[in-house]
Protein backbone atom coordinates (compact mmCIF):
# COMPACT_ATOMS: atom_id res chain seq x y z
CA UNK A 1 0.00 0.00 0.00
CA UNK A 2 1.25 3.48 -0.90
CA UNK A 3 2.40 5.65 1.98
CA UNK A 4 0.10 8.45 3.09
CA UNK A 5 1.13 11.93 2.01
CA UNK A 6 1.88 14.16 4.99
CA UNK A 7 3.83 17.35 5.60
CA UNK A 8 2.20 19.34 2.82
CA UNK A 9 3.27 22.96 2.46
CA UNK A 10 0.76 25.68 1.62
CA UNK A 11 3.15 27.68 -0.57
CA UNK A 12 4.25 24.59 -2.50
CA UNK A 13 0.69 23.49 -3.20
CA UNK A 14 -0.32 27.02 -4.18
CA UNK A 15 2.64 27.32 -6.56
CA UNK A 16 1.93 23.90 -8.05
CA UNK A 17 -1.72 24.80 -8.61
CA UNK A 18 -0.63 27.98 -10.41
CA UNK A 19 1.76 25.93 -12.54
CA UNK A 20 -1.01 23.52 -13.50
CA UNK A 21 -3.17 26.47 -14.53
CA UNK A 22 -0.28 27.90 -16.56
CA UNK A 23 0.25 24.61 -18.37
CA UNK A 24 -3.45 24.36 -19.15
CA UNK A 25 -3.26 27.87 -20.63
CA UNK A 26 -0.15 26.90 -22.62
CA UNK A 27 -2.14 23.98 -24.03
CA UNK A 28 -4.57 26.48 -25.53
CA UNK A 29 -7.35 26.35 -22.94
CA UNK A 30 -8.79 28.95 -20.63
CA UNK A 31 -7.89 27.70 -17.13
CA UNK A 32 -11.26 28.95 -15.91
CA UNK A 33 -12.87 26.29 -18.11
CA UNK A 34 -10.84 23.36 -16.74
CA UNK A 35 -11.41 22.36 -13.12
CA UNK A 36 -8.39 21.04 -11.25
CA UNK A 37 -9.54 18.20 -9.04
CA UNK A 38 -7.12 17.20 -6.29
CA UNK A 39 -6.97 13.42 -6.03
CA UNK A 40 -6.66 12.82 -2.30
CA UNK A 41 -6.66 9.03 -2.02
CA UNK A 42 -3.24 9.08 -0.36
CA UNK A 43 -3.50 12.46 1.37
CA UNK A 44 -3.87 12.15 5.14
CA UNK A 45 -7.13 13.54 6.50
CA UNK A 46 -5.39 16.15 8.65
CA UNK A 47 -3.53 17.53 5.61
CA UNK A 48 -6.67 18.65 3.79
CA UNK A 49 -6.58 22.00 5.54
CA UNK A 50 -3.34 22.76 3.70
CA UNK A 51 -5.17 22.26 0.40
CA UNK A 52 -7.91 24.66 1.50
CA UNK A 53 -5.36 27.30 2.46
CA UNK A 54 -3.67 26.87 -0.92
CA UNK A 55 -6.90 27.53 -2.81
CA UNK A 56 -7.81 23.95 -3.70
CA UNK A 57 -11.56 23.46 -3.37
CA UNK A 58 -12.44 20.43 -5.55
CA UNK A 59 -11.37 17.08 -4.10
CA UNK A 60 -11.73 13.56 -5.46
CA UNK A 61 -11.62 10.39 -3.37
CA UNK A 62 -11.38 6.80 -4.60
CA UNK A 63 -12.75 4.92 -1.60
CA UNK A 64 -16.20 5.24 -0.09
CA UNK A 65 -15.12 4.89 3.54
CA UNK A 66 -12.34 7.44 3.20
CA UNK A 67 -14.69 9.81 1.40
CA UNK A 68 -17.18 9.60 4.25
CA UNK A 69 -14.51 10.15 6.89
CA UNK A 70 -12.83 13.05 5.15
CA UNK A 71 -16.06 14.78 4.17
CA UNK A 72 -17.42 14.49 7.71
CA UNK A 73 -14.21 15.75 9.30
CA UNK A 74 -14.07 18.87 7.12
CA UNK A 75 -17.74 19.79 6.86
CA UNK A 76 -18.04 23.34 8.14
CA UNK A 77 -14.27 23.75 8.32
CA UNK A 78 -13.42 24.14 4.63
CA UNK A 79 -15.36 24.96 1.48
CA UNK A 80 -14.71 21.67 -0.31
CA UNK A 81 -16.67 20.12 -3.15
CA UNK A 82 -16.29 16.33 -3.32
CA UNK A 83 -16.38 14.01 -6.32
CA UNK A 84 -16.01 10.23 -6.31
CA UNK A 85 -13.36 9.11 -8.80
CA UNK A 86 -12.52 5.50 -7.91
CA UNK A 87 -13.90 2.11 -8.86
CA UNK A 88 -17.39 2.09 -7.37
CA UNK A 89 -18.88 -1.03 -5.85
CA UNK A 90 -22.63 -1.15 -6.27
CA UNK A 91 -23.16 -1.68 -2.54
CA UNK A 92 -21.41 1.65 -1.86
CA UNK A 93 -23.63 3.77 -4.12
CA UNK A 94 -26.08 4.61 -1.34
CA UNK A 95 -23.23 5.77 0.92
CA UNK A 96 -21.46 7.85 -1.72
CA UNK A 97 -24.35 9.70 -3.35
CA UNK A 98 -25.20 12.19 -0.56
CA UNK A 99 -21.55 13.22 -0.23
CA UNK A 100 -20.59 14.13 -3.78
CA UNK A 101 -21.32 16.45 -6.65
CA UNK A 102 -20.48 13.86 -9.32
CA UNK A 103 -19.61 10.19 -9.48
CA UNK A 104 -17.04 9.98 -12.28
CA UNK A 105 -16.91 6.20 -12.52
CA UNK A 106 -20.28 4.69 -13.39
CA UNK A 107 -18.98 1.54 -15.03
CA UNK A 108 -21.34 -1.38 -14.51
CA UNK A 109 -24.96 -2.42 -14.78
CA UNK A 110 -25.05 -3.14 -11.05
CA UNK A 111 -24.14 0.48 -10.30
CA UNK A 112 -26.86 1.65 -12.71
CA UNK A 113 -29.39 -0.43 -10.78
CA UNK A 114 -28.31 1.07 -7.45
CA UNK A 115 -28.50 4.58 -8.89
CA UNK A 116 -32.09 3.78 -9.77
CA UNK A 117 -32.76 2.79 -6.17
CA UNK A 118 -30.93 5.61 -4.41
CA UNK A 119 -30.54 8.47 -6.89
CA UNK A 120 -32.66 11.60 -6.96
CA UNK A 121 -33.66 14.01 -9.75
CA UNK A 122 -30.62 16.08 -8.75
CA UNK A 123 -28.12 13.21 -9.05
CA UNK A 124 -25.51 13.78 -11.77
CA UNK A 125 -22.93 11.25 -12.93
CA UNK A 126 -20.28 10.62 -15.53
CA UNK A 127 -20.10 7.34 -17.43
CA UNK A 128 -16.69 5.67 -17.48
CA UNK A 129 -15.72 4.61 -21.00
CA UNK A 130 -13.02 2.06 -21.78
CA UNK A 131 -12.00 3.86 -24.97
CA UNK A 132 -8.99 1.62 -25.62
CA UNK A 133 -10.86 -1.64 -25.04
CA UNK A 134 -8.43 -2.85 -22.40
CA UNK A 135 -9.68 -6.21 -21.08
CA UNK A 136 -8.44 -5.64 -17.53
CA UNK A 137 -9.91 -2.16 -17.15
CA UNK A 138 -13.41 -1.10 -16.08
CA UNK A 139 -15.80 1.00 -18.07
CA UNK A 140 -18.34 0.56 -20.81
CA UNK A 141 -17.31 0.03 -24.42
CA UNK A 142 -17.94 2.98 -26.76
CA UNK A 143 -20.44 0.87 -28.69
CA UNK A 144 -22.52 0.46 -25.50
CA UNK A 145 -22.65 4.14 -24.68
CA UNK A 146 -25.98 5.10 -26.24
CA UNK A 147 -27.72 2.22 -24.52
CA UNK A 148 -26.06 3.01 -21.17
CA UNK A 149 -27.01 6.69 -21.31
CA UNK A 150 -30.59 5.75 -22.22
CA UNK A 151 -30.81 3.26 -19.35
CA UNK A 152 -29.13 5.39 -16.72
CA UNK A 153 -31.81 6.35 -14.18
CA UNK A 154 -30.10 9.61 -13.21
CA UNK A 155 -28.73 12.53 -15.22
CA UNK A 156 -25.61 11.77 -17.25
CA UNK A 157 -23.58 14.98 -17.58
CA UNK A 158 -20.37 13.65 -19.08
CA UNK A 159 -17.81 10.94 -19.61
CA UNK A 160 -14.62 9.79 -17.92
CA UNK A 161 -11.75 7.63 -19.11
CA UNK A 162 -8.39 6.28 -18.03
CA UNK A 163 -6.20 5.73 -21.09
CA UNK A 164 -3.61 2.94 -21.29
CA UNK A 165 -0.60 3.51 -19.06
CA UNK A 166 2.18 5.17 -21.06
CA UNK A 167 5.43 6.98 -20.30
CA UNK A 168 4.78 9.62 -22.98
CA UNK A 169 1.80 11.90 -22.31
CA UNK A 170 1.29 12.26 -26.05
CA UNK A 171 0.36 8.57 -26.22
CA UNK A 172 -2.85 9.46 -24.39
CA UNK A 173 -3.93 12.09 -26.90
CA UNK A 174 -5.86 9.77 -29.28
CA UNK A 175 -7.85 8.31 -26.40
CA UNK A 176 -8.70 11.74 -25.00
CA UNK A 177 -9.75 12.91 -28.46
CA UNK A 178 -11.91 9.83 -28.88
CA UNK A 179 -13.69 10.48 -25.57
CA UNK A 180 -14.25 14.11 -26.49
CA UNK A 181 -15.81 13.03 -29.77
CA UNK A 182 -18.11 10.56 -28.01
CA UNK A 183 -19.21 13.26 -25.58
CA UNK A 184 -19.70 15.90 -28.27
CA UNK A 185 -21.84 13.61 -30.40
CA UNK A 186 -24.17 13.09 -27.43
CA UNK A 187 -24.27 16.65 -26.10
CA UNK A 188 -22.46 15.74 -22.88
CA UNK A 189 -20.47 18.65 -21.50
CA UNK A 190 -18.26 17.26 -18.75
CA UNK A 191 -15.05 15.41 -19.65
CA UNK A 192 -13.06 13.96 -16.76
CA UNK A 193 -9.71 12.93 -18.19
CA UNK A 194 -6.03 13.47 -17.51
CA UNK A 195 -3.94 12.87 -14.41
CA UNK A 196 -0.66 14.25 -13.10
CA UNK A 197 1.35 13.01 -16.04
CA UNK A 198 -0.90 14.01 -18.93
CA UNK A 199 -3.34 16.69 -17.77
CA UNK A 200 -2.03 19.27 -20.25
CA UNK A 201 -2.70 16.92 -23.17
CA UNK A 202 -6.14 16.15 -21.74
CA UNK A 203 -6.91 19.85 -21.45
CA UNK A 204 -5.85 20.43 -25.04
CA UNK A 205 -8.27 17.70 -26.14
CA UNK A 206 -11.23 19.15 -24.26
CA UNK A 207 -11.07 18.03 -20.63
CA UNK A 208 -13.29 20.03 -18.29
CA UNK A 209 -11.95 18.23 -15.19
CA UNK A 210 -8.37 17.03 -14.72
CA UNK A 211 -7.59 14.72 -11.81
CA UNK A 212 -4.23 15.78 -10.38
CA UNK A 213 -2.44 14.23 -7.42
CA UNK A 214 1.32 14.22 -6.89
CA UNK A 215 1.87 17.17 -9.23
CA UNK A 216 0.06 19.33 -6.69
CA UNK A 217 1.78 18.03 -3.60
CA UNK A 218 5.51 17.83 -4.32
Classify residue 185 by burial, with Cβ atoms within 10 Å: 0-12, 13-18, 19+: exposed
Measured distance CA(42)–CA(45) in Å, rounded: 9
Measured distance CA(83)–CA(27) in Å, rounded: 25
Measured distance CA(59)–CA(82) in Å, rounded: 5
Q: What is the 3-state secondary structure (H, E, C) of the chain?
A: CCCCECCCCHHHHHHHHHHHHHHHHHCCCCHHHCEEEEECCCECHHHHHHHHHCCCCEEEECCHHHHHHHHHHHCCCCCCEEEECCCCCHHHHHHHHHHCCEEEEECCHHHHHHHHHHCCCCCEEEEEECCCCCCCCCCECHHHHHHHHHHCCCEEEEEECCCCCCCCHHHHHHHHHHHHHHHHHCCCCEEECCCCCCHHHHHHCCCCEEEECHHHHC
Measured distance CA(180)–CA(117) in Å, rounded: 30
Measured distance CA(73)–CA(70) in Å, rounded: 5
CATH assignment of 10-99+163-217, given 3.20.20.70, 3.20.20.10, 3.90.1260.10, 3.90.1200.10? Answer: 3.20.20.10
Domain boundaries along the sequence of the chain: 10-99+163-217
**pLDDT reported for residue 131:** 97
**Tens-digit pLDDT profile for the chain (218 aa)?**
578 999 999 999 999 999 999 999 999 999 999 999 999 999 999 999 999 999 999 999 999 999 999 999 999 998 999 999 999 999 999 999 999 999 999 999 999 999 999 999 999 999 999 999 999 999 999 999 999 999 999 999 999 999 999 999 999 999 999 999 999 999 999 999 999 999 999 999 999 999 999 999 99
Is-contact 162 137, C-beta < 8 A? yes
Measured distance CA(185)–CA(191) in Å, rounded: 13
pTM for this prediction: 0.96
**pLDDT reported for residue 23:** 98
Amino acid sequence: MAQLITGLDVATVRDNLARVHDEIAAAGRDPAEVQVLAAVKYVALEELGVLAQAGVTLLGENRAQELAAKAAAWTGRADFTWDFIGQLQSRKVKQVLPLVRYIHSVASDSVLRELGRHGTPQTEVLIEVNVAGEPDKGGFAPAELDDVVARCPVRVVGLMTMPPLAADPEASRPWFAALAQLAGERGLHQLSMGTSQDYAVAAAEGATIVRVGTSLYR
